[in-house]
């Protein structure tokens, strides 16, 4: 069996990644040294195969997640003065969600610069939505460390500002089933959908669906099962988001 690192070296993938990384940094114009820029693209699967690599990009993901939340919250607060807290939260929850971050990462070509372990590479990790969302967060975290909050927030708004407008104008179809699935996974749970009723004639059927996850329940109705599932998922998703907001700051004793 060919050793993991040797297989990658033989394929030239490591050299290809370095070229893609340099081209990406130049295209983004961030002015970050390549050895530091590279840190944002080191997936844990790559680091696990190489003892010489000290750290993956996971800590940068953690930091970037917080910076993205703050930058979008600040942008919404400044640009939508007539909106309530609840309305702003709904827009933000979609804009900073994994599917949206992954789509933007794909458009930027971040996946091409990723350093993945051989197994992750062969299983299609370079196109996996969760990995793409993570590398977008890691990149933002790195920009924050290297250039400060102002530049990091500027980058976030440059990349996601149009998403805010789409959500606000309802031009994007919000996939609440995917959003709920993602949030549930973070909590180690799984949504369970149950078809409760079918009513009406064949050409005018109305379906009622219940979804349960993490002790919460939502019931949705629609002309199609998928439509009812989306309605139910939307209810529970915003219940989870509301619970997160209430738990983020402890009550004063």
Taking the C-alpha atoms of 114, 116, 118 and 119 in order, what is their torsion angle to the nearest 10 degrees?
A: -120
Active site residues: 65, 137
CB atoms within 10 A of CB 165: 14
Positive or negative, the Cα torsion across 180, 63, 161, 102? negative
* CA–CA–CA angle 172, 174, 177 (5° rounding): 155
Closest CA to 99 of 216, 158, 183, 42: 183
Question: How far from each other are the two terminal CA atoms of the chain, in whole angstroms?
Answer: 62
Closest CA to 108 of 156, 49, 71: 156
């Amino acid at each position: 069996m060919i050793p993991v690192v040797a297989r990658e070296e033989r394929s030239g993938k490591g050299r290809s990644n370095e070229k893609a990384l340099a081209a990406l940094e130049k295209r983004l114009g961030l002015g970050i040294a390549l050895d530091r820029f590279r840190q944002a693209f080191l997936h844990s699967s790559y680091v696990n195969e190489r003892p010489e690599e000290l750290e993956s990009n996971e800590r940068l993901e953690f930091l970037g997640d917080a910076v993205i939340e703050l930058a979008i919250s600040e942008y919404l607060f400044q640009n939508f003065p007539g909106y309530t807290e609840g309305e702003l939260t709904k827009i933000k929850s979609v804009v900073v969600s994994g599917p949206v971050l992954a789509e933007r990462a794909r458009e930027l070509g971040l996946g091409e610069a990723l350093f993945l372990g051989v197994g992750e590479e062969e299983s299609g990790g370079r196109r996996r939505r969760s990995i793409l969302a993570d590398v977008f967060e890691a990149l933002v975290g790195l920009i924050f460390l290297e250039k400060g909050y102002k530049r990091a927030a500027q980058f976030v708004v440059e990349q996601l500002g149009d998403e805010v407008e789409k959500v606000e104008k309802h031009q994007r179809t919000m996939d609440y089933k995917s959003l709920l699935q993602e949030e549930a996974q973070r909590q180690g749970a799984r949504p369970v959908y149950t078809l409760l009723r079918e009513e009406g004639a064949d050409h005018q059927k109305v379906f009622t669906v219940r979804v349960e996850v993490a002790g919460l329940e939502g019931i949705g109705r629609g002309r199609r099962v998928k439509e009812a599932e989306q309605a139910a998922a939307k209810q529970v998703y915003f219940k989870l988001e509301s619970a997160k907001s209430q738990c983020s700051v402890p009550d004063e004793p």
